[in-house]
A and B are shown apart, each in its own frame.
Chain A
Amino acid sequence: MWPDLIPVLPHDLALECLSRLHFSLYPLASRVSPQWRHLLHSHFFYSHRKKSGHTRYLACLIQALPPQFSPRALKHTSSPTYGITVFDPLTLTWERLPSVPDSALGLPLFCQTAGCRGSLVLMGGWDPVSYEPLTDVFVYDFRTTKWRRGKEMPSKRSFFAMGSCGDRVYVAGGHDEGKNALKTASVYNVGEDEWWELPPMSQERDECEGRMVGEEFWVVSGYRTEQQGMFEGWAEAYGLRSGQWRGVEGVWERGRCPRWCVGVGKDGRLVSWGELDSEVRVGVCGVTLGSRAMVIGSEYEGGRHGFYVQQGQNCKLRNIRVPDDFSGFVQSGCCVEI
């Protein structure tokens, strides 16, 4: 299928060598030969590496940029500009992704992200100047290191739940332009660049949070339009196989906002990252990265936020040193397996 990857080596040995290539070298390696290029850009290569345990879990964070990176058009406003930071928990290295296409003003405010088979999918959010809700979808492919535009979201939706499995990104809840809470749900297939509508949840859920739990897409907490801020203590779970929603009672503390802070334990139970350690009690954002996790938060309101890595479940948080350029406020994050 991929003849002569490395002429002096049998095919399977050559494939094993390339499987261990650090992802940051993909752009370079894909210019070596047509065979390498086809291999590195193929779905086969990703699934082969996943099967043989050579994929990596990266944290992609929506992070406030240092002032010198702010686009000129936003200099007069006080709100920070956000960019996407990539953190590799194995090598403890930090990088920043190139900005999304046609984004003179930086990322949409409160845009949301999910990792999808070697790609980062970013959607929604508000125009940084007019605060108009946006329906743009962008996909960053780590193999080609390029952004492309995806098919727009079928409707305007803010502060929704998002989760991904395989090639699909699930969204549900949030609110529409009129700040009405939503019970609708959709799925975006990244490979086919197509949206489909899902059956609706049983109730509206604004500011809910999405997580994948086994083969279910969980939409955690949220509140109805008339119950502003009164967060529910239950979740609704969409079975990826059954195509049905089911209610899951008593999985979240009533009244607690779930944004960015829902973790899923090994046993499938939900945890709040903020309860892990008093040092991340406030403004916490957690991202599960395979057997590790990255947690960012501060000890008290207005306190300096710290960056932590948890090596395995039930382990203590380990503080990590962060270069100045990457120490800005982290709004949200997701894991991309590449």
Chain B
Amino acid sequence: MSSSVEAITVLSSDGDEFKITVSAAKLSKPLNWMLEDVCFSDDCDEVPTIEVNSKTLVKVIEYCEKHAPRANSGASDSDAEELKKWDIEFMKMDVKDILFHILMAANYLHMEGLYDLACQTAADLMKGMTVSQIRKIFHIKNDFSSEEQEQLRRQHPGCSFD
């Protein structure tokens, strides 16, 4: 791989162009393969497409760029602590819009750290919510039958099912 290449251009599934640095792309195996393909191919003008929409890809690249220095060189405890705080801020996003897309992108791009973070964020979302808020966020229909619901109400007096 030529050391002069510092960033590559990729296309999102909506056809927008994005730049990602070589060191950041190393966080994802599939991205890294694409990068090697681009660098070694004779036809350097070809821009690879990543099957992730633009809105999600912006976030994924932001995550990669932030985590790249640590992933590539190792970091001190204080850096790790700082990165943890950054992750929490990073995950404060409109859930319906983007969290599940990020989760699927992290899975598709084999990014363990982001995958774990997104799964944990989804799980932690439920803290302090009502049952109906959870259903709304996770797109779940209430398909307890009315008999089941009645039985549950009897078993859990005082608990809300809405």
Contacts and interface: CB of A to CB of B under 8 A. Distances in A.
Contacts of A17: 103, 119, 122-123
Interface in A49-67: none
Contacts of A22: 123-124, 127
A13 interface: yes
A21 interface: yes
A31 B141 contact: no
A239 interface: no
A323 interface: no
B140 A7 contact: yes
A33 B107 contact: no
Contact of B144 (A7, A9, A18, A33): A33
Nearest to B138: A6
Given A10-B104, A13-B107, A33-B140, A28 B126 contact: yes
Interface of A: 6-10, 13, 16-22, 25, 27-29, 31-34, 36
Nearest to B126: A25
Contact of A9 (B104, B135, B159): B104
Nearest to A25: B126
Give the interface residue-count category, chain B: 20 to 34
Given A31-B161, A34-B144, A20 B135 contact: no
A32 B152 CA distance: 11
Interface in B123-162: 123-124, 126-127, 129, 131, 134-135, 138-144, 148, 152, 156, 159-161
A28 B119 contact: no
Contact of B123 (A7, A9, A18): A18
Interface of B: 100, 103-104, 107, 115, 119-120, 122-124, 126-127, 129, 131, 134-135, 138-144, 148, 152, 156, 159-161
16 contacts: A7-B140, A7-B141, A9-B103, A10-B104, A10-B107, A17-B123, A18-B123, A20-B120, A21-B126, A27-B159, A28-B134, A31-B156, A32-B138, A33-B141, A33-B144, A34-B144
Contacts of A13: 103-104, 107, 119
B140 A32 contact: yes
B23 to A, nearest CB: 28
A25 B130 CA distance: 11
A22 B160 CA distance: 19
Given A17-B122, A21-B123, A31 B152 contact: yes
Contacts of B134: 28-29, 32
B123 A32 contact: no
